[in-house]
Each structure stands twice: as C-alpha cells, then as structure tokens.
Structure 1
Amino acid sequence: MAKAKAGAADADEQPDREQLHRIVEGLSDGVVLIEPDGRITWANNAALTMHGCAEVAELGATVKDYQDRFDLQLRDGQPLPKTAYPMDRLCRGESFEDVVLEVRRAGQAEPDPDWVHRERGFVLDRDGEADCLVLIICDATEAFEAEERFESMFNANPAPALIVRLADLRYVRVNEGFLELSGWERDQIVGRSIYEFDILGQAAERDKAKVRLSQGDTIPQMEADLPLPNDNSKLVLLAGHPAEMPNNEPCMIFTFADLEPRRRAEMALRQSEERFATAFRLAPVPMLLTSLDGHRILNVNHAFLELTDWGHDSVVGRKPAEIELFESSGTRREIEKKVSESGSFRGYELQVKTRTGTLVTCLASADTVSINGQYCILAAFQDISERKRTELDLIAAIEGAMQDSSWLSQKIMDRMAALRGGQPKPGPSGPSVELTPREREVLALITRGKTDDAIADALSLKRNTVRNHVARLYAKIGVHNRAEAVIWARDRGHQLGLDTAI
C-alpha cells in the first residue's frame, strides 16, 4: 500500500519538476537542483558552463562528490570549509543570499580561480517538508576581473586619488599616491564618510563643490587645505570626476596635486622680496628700480631722494625722461641701449640732474632682476663729484706749475699733503746724503728753476760740466728729474744749508 502511495507521489511530482526544468533551462543564471538527501539531480547549461562541465554527472552525483571535485574559497583568498559550501548549507535547510566565491577544480596547481560565482540558495517545500533545494549561480568572473583591473589601474596611478560612493558618500577606494601625499593609513580612510573626513571643508569653493558632489556633477579644479593626521594641513589642488565602479555603482573620483612645494616656494620668495625691499630702502647708495619694458620708475630708495632732492611720489610711476633725470637725452638713450644689449653695465660715468637742475657726477651700474615675476632694472649710483673736483684741482695745480717751475714743488707738496689728510712733517724722509759744495750750488739753482745754461752762466762753468754735476747729483739723491730733485731738496733744505728762500 505504502509503495503504491510513493509511486503515486512520484507520478504527481514528475510533471512539476519537468515544468521547473523547462522554466529555468534558458536562464543566463545557473540553476542546480538538489534533493534533500544530497543527490544532485539536475543543472541547466549555464550552471554546467560555470563549472566547465558538459553534463550533470561531472558535477558529482552527490553534494559530497561536488566537494571532492571543486575547491571553493572566499574572495580574500581564505579556503572555505566543506561544511560552509553553499550546497552543504542547503542540505541543512539554510537559505542564503549573495555569497561570492572563487571556484577551481580540485587538485589544480594554478593559484588563480577558474570562475567567480555569486550564489544564493533557497529550499522548496511541500506540505511543510523540504522538497527541492535550489542553488542559483551568477557568473561574476568578468565583473570581478574588471574590478581587479580597475583596482590595479587605480592603485598604480601615481596621481593621489580617492573614490567616494555617491549612494552614501563614503570612501570606498584610496590609492598609494594619496596615502603618501597625506600620511593617512588606508583603514583610516576607507569606510568613513566625507563628513567625517572632509576633504572639501577647506576648499576654495566649498559650497559649490558640495552641491556638485550631491548632484553627481563634475567638481572643477580648486585649491584646498587637505587635513593631515597631525592636525596640520597641506595645500592641494583637487578635482572631482563622476564615474561608475565595475559593479555599476555611481561614484566620484577625486584626484589631487600637491601644491605645498609651491606654497613654500612662494613664501620663501615673499620673504626674499621683503628682505630685498628692506635692503633696498636702507642702502646708503642711491638706487633706482625701473621696469625693463618701458623703463618706468617702480621704486627709489632714501639715498636716491637725498641725492636728487625729489619726493617719492614725484618720481615713482614716471619715466626718467619725464623728470629729466640725466644731463641729456643722449645719456639716457645710451643707458637704455647698454641695458637692451647686455642686460647690465658697470661703472658708467654720467651726470644726474637734481630737481633744482644741479648736475651730480656719478658712477652708475645696473643689472636685470626679477621681482614679483616682473623683470626690472636695478641701478645704483655712486656720487663722485668731490673726487672729480679734487682731480680737477690737482690738474689745475700741475698746469700752473708747468708755467712756473719755482712754484712747482710747493704746490705739489701742498696738494699731496691735502690728499693724504695732513701736512708733511719737517725733517729728513730718508738717509743723509753727503753733497760737495759744487753739488749744493747746483741743487740750489735747480730749486730756483734755473736751466742748465743759466746754471753754467751763474757758476762760470761749461754747459757739459753742469750736466755732469746734475747727473751725479741725481744718482746721489736717487731722483730722475728736476721736479723730484726740487721735492727732495725742499724736504732737506735746512739740513743741507740750502737757501730757504727757494
């Protein structure tokens, strides 16, 4: 009787299973049907393909056979115990959703999996009893390969980058470039929301960026201070680009460029320019700063204003031609020509005209410099007026002496003493020299400006004899000409008993 009932039940059940087979046969997802006692009774073509099999028997007659033929492991590479295999869980009456597994044939030497499955399972029951166990398999191999390629490319990208999932605004990826840039650890970033680690909090256009992020729109480049682990910040240039993850999740990829070196360079440049401005302002030498293009006066220092008697606001912004800074337009054009040809010049003598029209003789030097990114000409002037006057006085004294040789030595001595800053001291300036009476007479007449012929007449000597006396005299006192002999005699006149009237 019982046997007859079982046969009747099998007869009733067979049409249902065949109908189920026809429904799932053409599905792209794989379907495996398992009996409650662990027998694998049917699988569609998709499920067979996802295991590399041609028929159901290759999967194994039972769940235990399947466990022996295929090795399963989790996505992190950890082996999966046999008791945790999805088929085994179904046999225990468990239903489950979205289990991701790597599948390979047992005994395979290659470490890489053959397939990646996303599996779920449920139990069909009849009259409260488990009737059929259904395992549904989705082939995630390509998706995970694409994700691995994405991960590899993202991590290999040297540009610092973060990925924010738009659904919950949480960070889901961070590459090595960002970790090196910021000093954060990966687990300190991934999983946190943008509100916890706010990369836009100190952005130049924070509100605009956050609105665009909420709408999934491109965030244009902008500067921002990136928070660091030590409570400091780093200046960066960031931008956001909408994209999709390999699993089709909308996300925003943030990329960064380190601007901290630029900020430090700008700070150093600013400090350098401040030091230059201070040195320029306080320099004792008159200095002038003009633009290279147009030669417009950009700045002058205190010494320049004192030299020219101009006021600061009267010259800054104007051209040297407008205030007639130089003695002539020809001088100005010559300076501009020197600058345009070589970019600099040294020790060029010129005359600077003051506000009142007085000419001041100067030595000018100039060079090309860059200030605040602008090429300028920095010129310095050395006032040599007093030195020129001294030189002119000396020349006039010498020219006067050439007309009156008796006046020569005194004038030269006085001028030399003035140049040295004091009067010549009386007394011998060298070792004593013994002169004959005749040599003394000759020397005395020389100091009076007498020529050889005049000395010959005065001493009743022949001219050649006088010349011989003069030659011996020069040799004794170590001079080479009459002017030096006059100076030597004036230094020692009291010692030699010469006529002091000379």
Structure 2
Amino acid sequence: MSQDVLAKETNRRQLQQIISGLSDGIILAEVDQTILWANDAALTMHGVDDVAALGANTQAYAERFALRYRNNHPLPPENYPLARAAAGEEFSDVVVDVTPTADPEKTWVHRLRSLVISDARGAPELLVLILANATEWASAEQRFEKTFSANPAPAVICRLSDLRYIKVNQGFLEMTGYNRDQVIGRSVYELDVLEQAERRDLAIQRLADGATIPQMQAELRLPDGGSKLVIVAGQPLDMNEEDCMLFSFTDLEPRRKAEIALRQSEERFAKSFRLTPVPTLVCNAANRQVLDINEAFMTITGYTSDELIGKSIEDIDFIDSQEAAVQLFATLEQAGNLDGQDLKVRKKSHEVIDCVVSADTVTLQDEPCYLLVMMNITERKRSELELVAAIEEVMQDASWFSQTLIEKLANAKSANSLNRPNVSFTDLTARERDVLGLICEGLADKEIASRLKLAPNTVRNHVATVYSKLGVHSRSAAIVWARERGLFAGELRVKRKK
C-alpha cells in the first residue's frame, strides 16, 4: 500500500471516529457516489443496522428508499442529495420525506446539507451528507397546517423578511371572497389588512419589529371593491425557521348591520311614538323611571316633558290609586303585557279622568322597558252612566212596555253595565228563584203570595232579599238583570195599559 493511500485511509478512520458519536447523521461517499460509511445516527434515521442496508451507491439507495419533497413531488435518482453533491452542488436545508420501499407505511423527514472534502491539491476527495431528523418538526408543522386550515377564525400568515403572505385559511377566503391565488405571494402593501386601522402607526411599527399587534378595528378591502369592518390582531411566530406574523380576524360586519338595523328601528319607533295621537309613556322596567312621553300624553295630563322625564312613576303619582299602580306593574312583571285595564289618572290640575291602559314590554338600548298606551274614556263613561240611569228611570214600571222593547232596553243596559256585581243565579235560594221568576211574569206581590201560597209579608221579604243579592232597587231592574242572563225568557209577560 502506497504512503498516500495509507494516509488517506488513516484520515478517513480518524474522521469516522470524530463523527461517529455525533447526534446528526453523517454519510460518507466516494466522488463516484459509492457509499463508504454512515454513523449510527444516520443508520437509525433510515431504520437499518449497517451501512450495507443503505445500498452500495445512489442507484441502490434509490431502490431501497423513495424520496419526496415536502410538496409531495417525488425525486428522480439524479436529484437525490448524494447525486447532487457528486455533481459538485452544495446545498443546505433540503427537506425530504424518506420512505423505505419495503415498508411504505413508514416515513421519516430528513433535513440535509452537503459538504465536499477536497485533497491537498483541491480536488474533490470525499462527499459528506449531514442529516438531521426533522420528523417531529414535520409532524408538528403538519398538525399546525391542519389546525390552521380547519380553524373557522379567518387568518393569514405573512413572512416578515419580505412581508408576503405564505398561508391563508378557508375562513379568511370565505369572509372576504378572495381566492387563494389572490392572497398567497402578495405583499401586505397590495392586500393591506391594516387599512384604516384604529392605531395603524402602532400596528405598522409592531409589524416591522416582529412584535405582537394588539386587537384593533380596521376596514378590510374586498375584491369586489367593497370593504368589511373587522377586528385584526397580529401574533409573531416561527415557521420553517423563518420569522412570520399570524394575522387573525373577527368579522364585525354582522354586528355593524345589526346596529344599523337597531338604530333604524329605534328611529322609526321614536318617530311613530311622537306622532301617534294616543297618549303614550315609556318607563324603565327596573325602576319605573320615565324615559319618554309623547305630545298626546302631555296634552291629556297637562304635564311637560321636563316635569316627568327622569322621575319615577311613584314620584309623579299621576295614577290616582296606589293599589291600582301596584297591580298594573305586578301584572307587567308577571305576564309582560296587559290589555284594556281601567285606570284612573290624576292630571296636573288634580282632576281625575278615566282611562283604559294597555301595556307591553319593549327593549330600548338593551334595557327592558314598559310601553304604556292610555285612552281617555271619561266622556264615554259619563255618557254610558247617563244612558243606564235613563233606562232605569223609564223602566220603573215595566208594565207600560212590550216584551220587544224590554229586551232592547235590557240589551242596551247590558252593553253599558261594566261594573255590576258578579252574582250568579245559583246564588239565590230555590224560593228566591221562584219569586224572581214570577216577578219576570209581571205578577205583583199579592199575586206571587197567592201563587206560592205564602203570606204577603213573606213574599215582600223574599223580594227584598232578591233585590239585595242582585244589587238592584226595582222590579224593572230585576227583570232586566234576569233578561241579561237569558233567564225566564219563556215566562216573561208584561201587561199592556188599558
């Protein structure tokens, strides 16, 4: 063996001894791509026990291990790392998937760089491949990719070195209407996610520094020329050993539309509230504080808005009966609304008027409120009472009227008798019902006594008891009471004046 060959072999043994314990994988090969040696780390990264299992050269290695780039494109043997190194190419940070052809279910991820060792004359003498196991890193990146893509929150990632977008998820595409090609590769100057941001100068400075960008509102320009109100925030992160910025977004457009719709609704409510001719008041449900009144309410009560707004209904004391006020709001708290309740209202002049109030619960500026609508029925009620009094006056002696006229008068009186005692026919005793029936036949007390074989005084006592229970004061009123309830319709007879 010549001295040069011996020296060469000695140097290689020393080199192998130096690198055998390294955590990085090392593969040594001749310039003709013959694989000479690999350390334990390189063998482990290939799942083999000795260098022979790697193959004698690049061609044999390619038969045993299929290599693909991370974009899933397969490598032909002439592009295998060892072949590229033999061609004199120096490279670093080449990432490939390595799959044994004998076990396609198993895959490792290697990050490689090349090194060419030259002899004393500068001629290539030895090829070196340096491998790092990037399987865990690739698995984490793959999990991130899946999470990022599946995350419904819109997001894009830009590379800080050139401020170009390198990733975009489906949420961002759906929110904006962009397609992937319109985003990937474009710069933040072309697709400005910080346009019209609240604190744009701060955001740009944080982006330049690679620091966290706090949440802020911005207008995101859309491909159709419109814009969308969003909240944008930036979070720095490392991807493939490159500094990047993750921009995440919250779509505020639905909220803006809801706010516009709410504002328009409240404007319509306010306009109709003020223009309606029916007296209306709005108060807070929690403390009964008056929030607004309309012109019709001020007209009917005599109060001004300054005298009412901001005060509680209890302080104003315009409801004549405290008990009625308590009952009104208790009903609203329990049912949320009421319809057609009689209420006496005290005007500023202390005059009391009769009203019918209807109320409902409404929400104004996210606060539950009560809307009270009142109708002044004072004149109507006075007219009804006068009509009832007139009917009772002319019906003092029912014997003067025909059955048809009595029925009409009874129906008219029934329509206006809103506050009669709630007495049932069954509240009368059997004898009292008999007496009432004979009264409806038009019999006098003596005739009733003869028909029932009772003493006249006993009949008079029964008649008085019937009047008392029915809340009437005359025979004609008793007849009307019975007629209102459809009693003794067949027996009703009246005497015509001769």
TM class by shorter chain equals 0.7 to 0.9
Give 3-state SS (helix, strand or coil) of 1:370's partner.
strand
Q: Report matched runs for 1:16-415 at 5 Å.
A: 16-105=11-100, 107-108=101-102, 110=104, 113-245=107-239, 247-401=240-394
Q: Where do 4+ consecutive residues of structure 1 move more than 6 Å?
A: 403-409
Task: Give per-residue Cα distances to partners, 1:95-141, cap 9 Å, x unaligned.
Answer: 33332222223x43626534434232435244243322222222222
Give the superposition deviation at 1:274: 1.9
> Closer, same or farther in 2 for the Cα pair 1:331/1:56, shift >3 Å?
closer
Q: Contact (CA 8 Å) 1:124, 1:134: kept in 2 or not? A: no
Write out aligned runs for 1:435-454 (5 A): none
> Is contact 1:29-1:137 (8 Å) kept?
yes
Larger Rg: 1 or 2?
Answer: 1
1:413-449 CA distances to partner (integer Å, 9 max, x unpaired)?
xxx9xx9xxxxxxxxxxxxxxxxxxxxxxxxxxxxxx
Q: How many residues align?
A: 416
Q: Which amino acid aligns with 1:134?
A: V
For residues 183 and 27 of structure 1, the distance between their equivalents in structure 2, rounded to whole angstroms, comes to 51
Partner deviation per Cα, 1:358-406 (whole Å, 9 max, x = no partner) = 3322111122221221111111111212212212322343354357999
One-letter identity of the residue aligned with 2:99: R
Partner Cα distance (2:35, 2:396) in 1: 138
For 2:92, what is the secondary structure of its paired residue? strand
For residues 29 and 330 of structure 2, what CA distance do their matches in structure 1 show?
99
Aligned-pair distance for 1:407? 11
Residues 12 and 400 (structure 1), Cα distance of their counterparts in 2 relative to 1, 3 Å cut? closer
Change in Cα spacing, 1:81 to 1:274, as seen in structure 2 (3 Å) is same
Question: Is residue 9 of structure 1 aligned with residue 35 of structure 2?
Answer: no
Deviation readout 1:195-240 (Å, 9 max, x if unpaired): 3322222334434444444444444444433332222223334444
- Asked if the contact 1:226–1:234 (Cα under 8 Å) also holds between the matched residues in 2, the reply is yes
Q: Verify the 8 A CA contact 2:110 2:131 in the aligned structure 1.
A: no
Give the conservation status (yes or no) of the 8 Å contact 1:29–1:136.
Answer: yes
Q: How far 1:300 sits from its partner (Å)? A: 1.1
From the superposition, tell whether residues 92 and 349 of structure 1 become closer, same or farther in structure 2 (CA, over 3 Å): closer
1 CA distance for matches of 2:152 and 2:258?
A: 23
Return 5+ residue gaps in structure 1 as ranges: 1-5, 420-450, 452-478, 487-497
Q: Tell me how far 1:298 sits from its aligned partner.
A: 1.0
Per the alignment, in what secondary structure is the counterpart of residue 341 of structure 2?
strand
Sort the Cα spacing of 1:64 and 1:379 in 2 relative to 1 into closer, same or farther, 3 A. Answer: closer
SS in 2 for 1:306: helix
- Aligned-pair CA distance for 1:84: 1.7
TM-score norm. by structure 1 comes to: 0.72
Question: Could you list the per-position Cα deviations for residues 270-306 of structure 1 after superposition, in whole angstroms to 9, with x for gaps in the alignment?
Answer: 2222222222112121111111122121111122122
Q: Note the aligned Cα RMSD (angstroms).
A: 3.4
Aligned partner of residue 101 in structure 1, secondary structure? strand
Equivalents in 2 of 1:342, 1:304: separation in Å? 25
Please give the alpha-carbon distance, in whole angstroms, between the structure 2 residues aligned to 1:81 and 1:202.
Answer: 50
Deviation of the 1:190 alpha carbon: 3.0
**3-state secondary structure, aligned to 1:171:** strand
Q: Please state whether the residue corresponding to 1:9 is helix, strand or coil.
A: helix
Q: Is the 8 A contact 2:108 2:133 kept in 1?
A: no
CA distance in 2, matches of 1:405, 1:79: 114
Secondary structure of the equivalent of 1:338?
A: helix
Seen in structure 2, the aligned counterparts of structure 1 residues 222 and 91 have a Cα distance that, compared at 3 Å, is closer
2 CA distance for matches of 1:378 and 1:368?
A: 6
Q: For residues 475-500 of structure 1, give each alpha carbon's deviation from its aligned partner in whole angstroms, at most 9, with x where no partner exists.
A: xxxx9546xx69xxxxxxxxxxx9xx
Identity %: 45
Q: CA deviation at 1:243?
A: 3.9
> Is the CA contact (8 Å cut-off) linking 2:273 and 2:280 kept in structure 1?
yes
One-letter identity of the residue aligned with 2:141:
E
